[in-house]
């Protein structure tokens, strides 16, 4: 019944919020801090009142060769089959949401992504270009149960092109992606805005294969001969971004690499590229940097988070830690509102609460439009790997 009856009640008063994130391998450097944000919110709200309790069910979709859609689909099926699961935080990657969204939407289970940026998930006009079957993700007769907090890549691509042309004064670019829904879409939006702003694309667009890093040396030679002002990479670290930067520097190309939230402020990028080679990399994260947030709630969150993760691996506080905390708290707030009003805590009732919510979160005021996109400001933080050989926050851009 859980897989098809979104209006059904939960399995009782022992409620569960699940998560679907990449918390193994290279992407654990960003995936685990995101999961910790979920864990922290749940740990602070174990007792929901009126006999209701809350716990987490944390799932990993990173396989031996990177993020695995088959694993993601299987875990989504398992989560929606558990009648105690009242909501899900995730996925982190747009490509994984592409396979899980038909399952969670079909079951009417709220899923809130702290990081998905591909616009084709929610905006039909972008679906076909991003190899997304919009009708499959939005089953007929089923209300939308998918929501996300960050701005989308149609906005992020423009912001990145602005970064390249204005801040870095780039007039030419070489473009590569990691051959994923997210990476290809982001590279498309960057390319279109970069060229419409007067820039030139050099060479043929490359779709990288993470298991073919041995070929990157030849690609780096080719890029060096083209001598673009910047290399743009759309994708995540495990998709080959760090390995490409390492290869480029080893071949003597030291001009900037520019990328999106798949690499920016990710410690895994420094590890894969090497701290020396990572220098002169720029990127955006579709979230505000916590140093730019001065509210008492943000300060408390930072303190609580650092105490919670003190003995855990990959415990860096990143912007998406706060985004995942907000995503979890939105679900929790919806549940508490129903309990307070003495209403049944059902999946559909939680979905309706989330759709109508205006939530003052750590990362700002959050509400959702009819597509499930955040109606609030589209904030992007700019980071660079500078001479300190670490990611450094530079400034905020609004899309």
The encoded tokens of residue 72 equal: 């993601």
pLDDT for 65: 83
3-state secondary structure of 366: strand
CA separation (Å) from 114 to 82, 256, 278, 327, 329?
A: 23, 28, 26, 6, 12
Model confidence over 43-64: pLDDT tens digits? 999 999 999 999 999 999 999 8
With both helix axes pointing from N to C terminus, report the angle between 69-81 and 94-107 in degrees, rounded to the nearest 10. 20
Which residues partner with 393 through β-bridges? 383
CATH of domain 14-150+292-368: 3.40.50.2300
CA separation (Å) from 150 to 60, 239, 259, 262?
A: 21, 21, 16, 13
Nearest by Cα to 67 from 16, 110, 24, 107? 24
For residues 223-249, average pLDDT: 96
Model confidence over 130-139: pLDDT tens digits? 899 999 999 9
> What does the domain layout of the chain look like in residue ranges?
14-150+292-368, 153-285+380-398
| Domain 153-285+380-398, CATH homologous superfamily name and number | Response regulator (3.40.50.2300)
Rg (CA), the chain: 20
Identical fold at 14-150+292-368 and 153-285+380-398? Answer: yes
Model confidence over 64-74: pLDDT tens digits? 888 999 999 99
- Pairwise CA distance, residues 172 & 170, whole Å: 6
Nearest by Cα to 259 from 243, 283, 238? 283
pLDDT for 56: 98
H runs (alpha helix) in the chain: 28-43, 69-81, 94-107, 134-137, 153-162, 181-196, 216-226, 241-250, 267-273, 275-278, 296-308, 319-340, 347-356
List CB contacts of 48: < 8 A, sequence separation 6 or more. 15, 54, 332, 335, 336, 339
What value does the mean pLDDT of the chain take? 94
pLDDT at 6 > cutoff 50: no
Model confidence over 169-197: pLDDT tens digits? 999 999 999 999 899 999 999 999 999 99
Q: Find out whether 32 and 69 touch, Cβ atoms under 8 Å.
A: no
């Amino acid at each position: 019944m859980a897989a098809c009856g979104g209006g059904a009640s939960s399995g009782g008063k022992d409620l569960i919020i699940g998560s679907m994130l990449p918390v193994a391998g290279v992407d654990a450097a960003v995936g685990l801090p995101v999961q910790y944000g979920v864990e922290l919110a749940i740990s602070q709200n174990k007792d929901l009142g009126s006999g209701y309790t809350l716990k987490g069910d944390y799932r990993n979709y990173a396989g031996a060769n990177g993020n695995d859609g088959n694993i993601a689909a299987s875990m989504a099926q398992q989560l929606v089959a558990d009648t105690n699961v009242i909501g899900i935080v995730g996925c982190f990657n747009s490509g994984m949401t592409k396979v899980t969204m038909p399952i969670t939407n079909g079951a009417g289970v709220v899923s809130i992504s702290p990081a998905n940026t591909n616009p084709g998930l929610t905006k039909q006009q972008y679906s076909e270009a991003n190899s997304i079957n919009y009708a499959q993700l939005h089953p007929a007769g089923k209300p939308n149960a998918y929501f996300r907090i960050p701005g989308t890549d149609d906005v992020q691509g423009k912001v990145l092109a602005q970064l390249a042309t204005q801040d870095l004064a780039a007039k030419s670019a070489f473009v590569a992606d990691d051959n994923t829904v997210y990476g290809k879409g982001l590279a498309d939006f960057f390319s279109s805005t970069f060229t419409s702003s007067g820039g030139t694309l050099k060479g043929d667009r490359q779709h990288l294969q993470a298991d073919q890093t041995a070929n990157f040396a030849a690609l780096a030679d080719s890029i060096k001969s083209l001598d673009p002002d910047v290399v743009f990479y759309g994708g995540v670290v495990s998709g080959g971004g760090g390995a490409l930067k390492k290869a480029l520097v080893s071949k003597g190309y030291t001009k900037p690499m520019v990328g999106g939230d798949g690499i920016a402020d990710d410690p895994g990028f420094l590890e894969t590229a090497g701290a020396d080679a990572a220098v002169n990399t720029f990127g955006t994260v579709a979230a505000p940097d916590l140093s730019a947030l001065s509210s008492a709630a943000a300060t408390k969150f930072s303190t609580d988070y650092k105490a919670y993760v003190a003995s855990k691996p990959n415990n860096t506080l990143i912007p998406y830690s706060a985004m995942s905390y907000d995503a979890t708290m939105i679900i929790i707030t919806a549940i508490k509102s129903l309990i307070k009003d003495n209403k049944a805590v059902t999946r559909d009732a939680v979905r309706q609460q989330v759709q109508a919510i205006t939530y003052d979160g750590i990362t700002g005021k959050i509400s959702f439009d009819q597509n499930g996109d955040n109606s609030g400001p589209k904030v992007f933080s700019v980071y660079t790997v500078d001479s300190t050989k670490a990611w450094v926050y530079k400034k905020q851009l609004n899309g």
